[in-house]
């Protein structure tokens, strides 16, 4: 075993390899005996491709060629962007949202000679298009959620369940989009019809609630109008409320209404009485059977024909199991998969999902509940490099001085032929996930391996406020964003140093979106001053007041009322915790990465922050990327961002490498796509 300084090791996992493997399959669904889903194409401008897998096919085939991009902008984070039905004659009919204009299109991929997608919905003059998500084909219509902007402001918007005719009559006529029920909530999910077609359920909520705070489970009757069209009538709140989050509701084949609610402190499955709304627990456990509803149409459970339920559950993870609602017995699926995406497709006794584990990337996996047998159908994990270059992660818990526990995933440096020099400790990077009401899964991630295979450890922190550990853990962040998350990340950093796993002088912090906030807030927080050698900040929130007063999209525009408090009541918190206004406290160098098309965390926040930084001479680099929004999708962007981050660590940790593109750190504010101003160079 060779010895070399931590951070200087040679690795076959380069930034191009990471970019090529970025993203994962999403939104799997059954179309007759086929399975369809979307998957990333980083090398094709970051588009999402819709693909299909026939029973006897060796590999999935694209439904649509480039540049079709199957991705919805509903609430900006998206909703289920496609639906399809198998037909006896002519093959499947598919409907999808195209990212560029957000119109719905229909396509019959098996039509003789192929078929060009035809539009079903009109263009909109405001709001970047009418937006649709959580699609379902119901007869000669598509039932879904419509998001419609009524003005130029981010809050000038309404959402309502609608029926879109499949005959294309609404392609140029907004009035042909039939609203299924009167507008009642600011946010809604798509309606789910009962097996007999007589009732429908959906979820709704209003500002300032987020869906993990409280939702209303709505029930309505289905009636026919004078023209024979179906409408949802007599809508009423059946369950839920301001302090109860119902994350999903579905009908069982026998007409039983099922839902996942956190009324007991954990998202658990329930049977719901359709008259009284009384809920009967099906599997009462201190585990989560759901997560944050960031995408409209997420599915954590799926009813099976035999009365059992396919469910995702766990603490800090999501395993697939089969639940017998009569007995409460829950049997987990065998295999190496410890994390399943909230997307399940049912075909008879078979359920298919998207699953990963600590040693494998996300795969399309099918379980036959009759036999208990699992098989990988597509995206079968193949090691991009020798597995000895992958980290061996462990889940850990850190106890803070005040007795509170903090959950983290630790990825130590690992290399098959190199270890550190005698007596040296490795540098570490603390990763703060986005959300913040989200969590970091314990799965193989080549972006993490990019660093660990070079001798830099990574620790992902599921700080207080994260999902996966019950409502009480989520609510630790209530009113305390910028405090609890900052302190929890610092506690994990201190624990790594105290136990001799990390060099205390070479610990960095990085994060994107809400994680970018935590990183920047940590750099200006007096309570953790001097803890970090540097920070890597991506598309962050930097000015709480600005974000609360119109600088973000509608979905999260009132999020800070729970995370920080109402602005009118606690303006000092907004000023005191924001990195903007406190750039004079920063002593560590940092890298700031920003997509110029980001409407969630817009460039204006970064620019105000950097204007202050320039007055105080803090070394930094600012890289911006045209055509990128909230999160980077293009291969060239991912490569440049990752290499720039490594270059920052080389400067801050004193690492010498000859294979890192130079990154200039400057006290100025200049920065363009892929470049930085002149200054200190890695």
* pLDDT number for residue 126: 83
* pLDDT number for residue 670: 43
Give the CA count within 13 Å in the CB-facing half-sphere of 172.
0
Kindly tell me if the per-residue pLDDT of 519 is higher than 50: yes
Longest dimension (CA), the chain: 83
β-pairing, 418-419 vs 2-3, is parallel
**What CATH number is associated with residue 398?**
3.40.50.1820
**Residue in this structure with the two tokens 């207080």, named with its chain if needed:** 464
Distances (CA, A) of 85 to 107, 206, 483: 11, 33, 49
Phi, psi of 2 (to 5 degrees): -75, 155
pLDDT in tens, 542-562: 999 999 999 999 999 999 999
Cα–Cα distance, 217 to 206 (Å, whole number)? 13
Residue 611 domain flag: yes
Residue 437 domain flag: yes
Kindly tell me if the per-residue pLDDT of 677 is higher than 90: no
Residue 349, Cα to own-chain centre: how many angstroms? 29
Q: Is the pTM of this model over 0.85?
A: yes
Kindly tell me if the per-residue pLDDT of 566 is higher than 80: yes
Q: Give the residue-averaged pLDDT of 255-261.
A: 98
167-188 b/e with 16+ CB inside 10 Å = b? ebebbeeeebbbebbeeebbbb
> Which pLDDT band, with edges at 50, 70 and 90, does 672 fall under?
very low
Work out how many domains the chain is built from and give that number. Answer: 1
- 204, β-bridge pairs: 188, 216
Residue 103 domain flag: no
Kindly tell me if the per-residue pLDDT of 464 is higher than 50: yes
Cα–Cα distance, 612 to 624 (Å, whole number)? 18
Residue 544 domain flag: yes
* pLDDT number for residue 682: 36
Residue 603 domain flag: yes
- 629, β-bridge pairs: 631
Contact 57, 41 (CB under 8 A): no
pLDDT in tens, 467-513: 999 999 999 999 999 999 999 999 999 999 999 999 999 999 999 99
β-pairing, 47-53 vs 34-41, is antiparallel
pLDDT in tens, 593-631: 999 999 999 999 999 999 999 988 899 999 999 999 999
Residue 60 domain flag: no
DSSP class of residue 296?
B
Share above pLDDT 70 across residues of the chain, in percent, rounded to a whole number = 98
Name the residue among 198, 290, 283, 285 with its Cα closest to residue 244. 290
Phi, psi of 334 (to 5 degrees): -70, 155
> Which pLDDT band, with edges at 50, 70 and 90, does 228 fall under?
confident
Residue 89, Cα to own-chain centre: how many angstroms? 38
Give the structural domain span for 394.
2-14+385-681
Residue 552 domain flag: yes
- 246, β-bridge pairs: 261
Name the residue among 323, 347, 377 with its Cα closest to residue 59. 377
Residue 6 domain flag: yes
């Amino acid at each position: 075993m060779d010895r070399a300084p931590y951070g200087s090791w040679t690795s076959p996992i380069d930034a191009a390899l990471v970019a090529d493997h970025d993203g994962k399959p999403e939104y799997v669904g059954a179309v007759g005996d086929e399975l369809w889903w979307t998957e990333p194409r980083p090398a094709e401008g970051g588009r999402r491709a819709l693909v299909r897998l026939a029973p006897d096919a060796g590999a999935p085939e694209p439904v649509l060629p480039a540049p079709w991009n199957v991705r919805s902008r509903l609430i900006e984070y998206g909703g289920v962007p496609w639906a399809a039905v198998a037909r006896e004659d002519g093959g499947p009919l598919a409907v999808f949202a195209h990212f560029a204009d957000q119109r719905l299109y229909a396509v019959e991929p098996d039509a003789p000679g192929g078929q060009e997608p035809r539009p079903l919905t009109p263009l909109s003059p405001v709001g970047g298009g009418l937006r649709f998500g959580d699609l379902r084909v119901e007869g000669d219509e598509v039932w879904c959620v419509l998001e419609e902007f009524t003005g130029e402001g981010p809050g000038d918007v309404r959402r309502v369940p609608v029926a879109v005719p499949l005959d294309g009559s609404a392609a140029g006529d907004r009035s042909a989009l039939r609203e299924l029920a009167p507008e009642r909530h600011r946010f809604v999910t798509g309606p789910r019809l009962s097996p007999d077609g007589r009732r429908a359920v959906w979820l709704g909520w209003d500002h300032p609630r987020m869906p993990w705070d409280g939702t209303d489970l709505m029930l309505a009757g289905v009636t026919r109008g004078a023209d024979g069209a179906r409408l949802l009538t007599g809508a009423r709140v059946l369950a839920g409320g301001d302090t109860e989050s119902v994350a999903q509701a579905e009908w069982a084949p026998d007409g039983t209404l099922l839902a996942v609610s956190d009324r007991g402190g954990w998202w658990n499955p329930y049977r719901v009485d359709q008259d009284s709304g009384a809920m009967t627990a099906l599997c009462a456990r201190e585990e989560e059977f759901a997560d944050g509803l960031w995408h409209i149409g997420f599915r954590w459970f799926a009813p099976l024909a035999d009365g059992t339920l396919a469910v995702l559950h766990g603490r800090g993870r999501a395993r697939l199991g089969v639940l017998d609602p009569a007995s409460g017995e829950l049997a987990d699926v065998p295999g190496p998969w410890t994390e399943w995406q909230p997307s399940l497709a049912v075909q008879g006794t078979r359920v298919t999902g998207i699953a990963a584990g600590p040693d494998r990337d996300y795969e399309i996996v099918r379980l036959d509940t009759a036999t208990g047998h699992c098989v990988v159908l597509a995206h079968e994990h193949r090691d991009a490099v020798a597995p000895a270059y992958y980290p061996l992660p462990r889940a850990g818990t850190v106890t803070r001085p005040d007795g509170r526990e903090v959950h983290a995933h630790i990825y130590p440096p690992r290399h098959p032929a190199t270890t550190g020099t005698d007596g040296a400790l490795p540098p570490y990077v603390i990763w703060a996930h986005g959300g913040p009401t989200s969590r970091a899964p314990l799965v193989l991630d080549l972006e993490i391996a990019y660093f660990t295979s070079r001798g830099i450890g990574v620790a992902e922190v599921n700080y207080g406020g994260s999902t996966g550990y019950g409502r009480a853990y989520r609510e630790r962040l209530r009113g305390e964003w910028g405090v609890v998350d900052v302190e929890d990340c610092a506690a994990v950093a201190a624990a790594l140093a105290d136990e001799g796993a990390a060099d205390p002088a070479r610990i960095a912090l990085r994060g994107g979106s809400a994680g970018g906030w935590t990183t920047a807030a940590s750099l200006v927080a007096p309570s953790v001053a001097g803890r970090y050698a540097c920070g890597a900040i991506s598309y962050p929130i930097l000015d709480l007041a600005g974000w609360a007063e119109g600088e973000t999209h509608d979905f999260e525009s009132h999020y800070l009322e729970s995370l920080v408090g109402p602005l009118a009541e606690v303006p000092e918190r907004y000023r005191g915790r924001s990195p903007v206004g406190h750039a004079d406290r920063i002593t560590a160098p940092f890298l700031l990465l920003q997509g110029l098309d980001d409407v969630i965390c817009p460039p204006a926040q970064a620019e105000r922050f950097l204007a202050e930084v320039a007055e105080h001479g803090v070394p930094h680099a600012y890289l911006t990327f045209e055509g990128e929004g909230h999160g980077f999708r293009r291969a060239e962007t991912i490569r440049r961002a990752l290499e720039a981050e490594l270059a920052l660590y080389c400067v801050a940790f004193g690492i010498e490498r000859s294979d890192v593109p130079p990154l200039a750190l400057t006290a100025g504010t200049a920065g363009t796509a892929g470049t930085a101003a002149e200054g200190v160079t890695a």
